[in-house]
Amino acid sequence: MRYRIPDEVPRHRFARFATRASAPYWASLVGGFLPALLWSTANAWFLGCRDRRWQTAFALIGYSTVAAIGAVRLWLYQSGTFETVFGHDGRLVNALMNSAYFLGWLVVLRILIGRQVDLAAYRGSLGKQLPWGVVLIGLMVLTDRFVVPAVFDYFNGIVWVWGPSRL
């Protein structure tokens, strides 16, 4: 039998669910960070990254760290500690900490996606381009707009769990 050179197709299970690496990054700006982080981590497995286990561990540590900053900020804000310690400038410190929280999320996602970009670009060059995951982005936006505020009524503080969105 004639030897067959391997076809240029990914050999991982669920490879068909992979999307462009940057899609979760841009989606996070409109739909919150936790789902974008979960999506990005899953994408590392769908793409078949060599360091997908490292990426999963990093996502867990990154999420814990940034969500903790959000929780601490919320607790300090609600307890009035900012005003007590910094006086009138307390609201500025609160705003700066909130910005740092937002940027922290972007950095975590950027590190994850930076490790997927090459492989995703290559997968996209093999015939059919990888999709943007528009349905997933739509679901994230709907959840961010309707489900999160509804849950917020019962569980004060869901924002630091879900992560803020800019729109």
Partner 1 sequence: MTSDLFDAALQAAEDAMRRGSHHTALRHFEDALTANPESAEAHALLSVCLSRMNRRFGAVEEAERALRIDPELPLGHIALGYAALATGDVKGAKAAVEHVHRLEPEGVSALTLRCDIALATREQGELKTAALALLARAPEDVYAICMLSRAASLGGKGAEAERLAREALRIAPDDATAHEMIGWAFFAQRKYRQAKEAALSALSMAPDNETAFMLMAASALRQRWLTGWMFSFALWVMQNSERTFMTAVIIFNAVLMLTGDLLWHYEQTPWLEALNYGSWALAIIALGSFVILSRILAHEARNVRLVQDY
**Closer CB to partner 1, 103 or 142, in the complex:** 103
Spatial separation of the C-alpha atoms in residues 65 and 32, rounded to whole Å: 16
Residue 131: phi, psi to the nearest 5? -80, 165
Using the minimum distance from each CB to partner 1, give the nearer residue, 15 or 72: 15
Residue 7 or 153 with smaller CB distance to partner 1: 7
In the complex, least distance from residue 120 CB atom to partner 1, rounded to whole angstroms:
9
Q: Report the residue number, 3 or 154, with the smaller CB distance to partner 1.
A: 3
Contact 56, 41 (CB under 8 A): yes
The nearest distance, CB 117 to partner 1, in angstroms, is 5
Residues that bind partner 1 (CB under 8 A): 1-11, 21-22, 25, 50, 89, 91-92, 95-96, 99, 102-103, 106-107, 110, 113-115, 117-119, 121-122
Beta carbon of residue 122, minimum distance to partner 1 (angstroms, whole number): 6
Find the shortest distance in angstroms from Cβ 6 to partner 1.
4
Instruction: Work out the angle between the directed axes of helices 33-47 and 134-142 (0-180°, nearest 10).
Output: 160
When the beta carbons of 107 and 150 are compared against partner 1, the nearer one is 107
For residues 62 and 103, the answer to whether their CB atoms sit within 8 Å is: no
Q: What whole-number distance in Å separates Cα of residue 158 and Cα of residue 67?
A: 10
Q: How far is the CB of 15 from partner 1 (least distance, A)?
A: 10
User: Any residues with CB less than 8 A from the CB of 105 and at least 6 apart, and which?
Assistant: 28, 33, 37, 66, 163, 164
